[in-house]
Amino acid sequence: MISPVQIVNTGIDTVKVNVKLIDEKGQPIKTQELPDSFLALLQAWQDKAKENNKSLPTSMTFDHARMMMLSNGSSTWRYIIKNDCFQLAIAPRFKVPMIAKVTFYSAYLWKHASANDALDEVHGFLMDVFGPHLMLQAAQIDLCVDMVGFTPPENWARFFVEPAPLLKPPPAPTPTPRKPMLPTFTSLLHSVKIKSSQVALQAT
């Protein structure tokens, strides 16, 4: 007898938000820049972390835990500070309309009744760091489902969404002398994939 699949729990697994400076009207300002004095402090922490070849405890704390400066940034961010709750990437290397990005860790999200509670706590921390005129913009939200009794089929790869080709046009329907042929299911699906990918690229 095959046991039925049961959903044990559902929730938000990961949240990423962009941090932007706003004006008095609540609109993002055109020049997203941090004070030189703050950047100098971050650079001093990072230099010390490189010198010690390990993450450096900073003067920032969150949820009773010290925020640690990593010895190196990333390909897109100059500085990365983190603890067990979230990662804060600061000062983008390229011109993007934001000053920082926050990646919430799953364990921190799950210990709250809702993701809004976690967002409110981190928002308060960010205002202490960057000032009160901030907005948080959702960049990525990952959902998870915990199940029991689920056995992946042998041809499991067929059930996962594949990246949509952006350059290959959808196949044209074959014309008939009687009446226009309706597009096939494959061509419709291909068109939907292309449109979905274009929307995703625009949102990014």
pLDDT at 27 over 50: yes
Under DSSP, the state recorded for 44 is H
Describe the strand order of the beta sheet including 100-104 as a list of residue ranges: 56-62, 65-69, 77-82, 86-92, 100-104, 6-21, 134-148
pLDDT tens digits for 146-166? Answer: 888 877 777 776 666 555 555
Q: What pTM, to 2 d.p., does this model score?
A: 0.70
Q: Domain ranges for the chain, please list them.
A: 6-148, 161-203
Distance CA 136, CA 28 (A): 10
124-136 confidence digits (pLDDT tens): 999 999 999 999 9
Average pLDDT over residues 17-26: 94
